[in-house]
Amino acid sequence: MVGIKVKTLTRRVVELSSELGLKAVPEYRTPDGTRIDVAILKDEEKLLAIELEASFKWFPQRLLYDVVKAHRAGFPELWVVTSFRNVKPGWVKNYAGELGLRFEVISPEELEKRMAEIIEIRTSPLPSDNLRR
């Protein structure tokens, strides 16, 4: 198992967000004084909280804390990025759903893939654009 490179991933998320016309804020400070590893904002609208978890110690508790932080800060979606395979968030995922928070645990590779897909969707011409030509 290879650990995640938090600084490298943070820089990459900032770059990809910029390509999308979004603002990525590393170490986003929440109103209650906690921090989210990376917050994705459109203007001042909160779109996505990203937490980078490199340690397996107390992992279920970390997931719960990440969910609570993202929800209390007003984010509609949370991605927890970790290199640990077969993570089963169990009841924490259900709890996030009860709070109305979309929550996923993804790999660093999946993070890159999803950000690239968002960029592709945003930059590809709409089907109606082809009709105008």
Burial of residue 130 (number of CB atoms within 10 Å: 0-12, 13-18, 19+): exposed
pTM of the model: 0.84
Kindly state the helix (H) or strand (E) to which residue 104 belongs, with its residue range.
Answer: strand 102-106
Share of the chain above pLDDT 90, in %: 53
Give the domain ranges of the chain.
6-124
Tokens, residue 103: 């929550």
In tens, the pLDDT along 33-46 reads 999 999 999 998 99
pLDDT band at 127 (very low <50, low <70, confident <90, very high): low
What phi and psi values does residue 90 have, to the nearest 5 degrees? Answer: 50, -125
Q: What is the CATH architecture assignment of 6-124?
A: 3-Layer(aba) Sandwich (3.40)
> Alpha-carbon distance 54 to 133, whole Å?
50
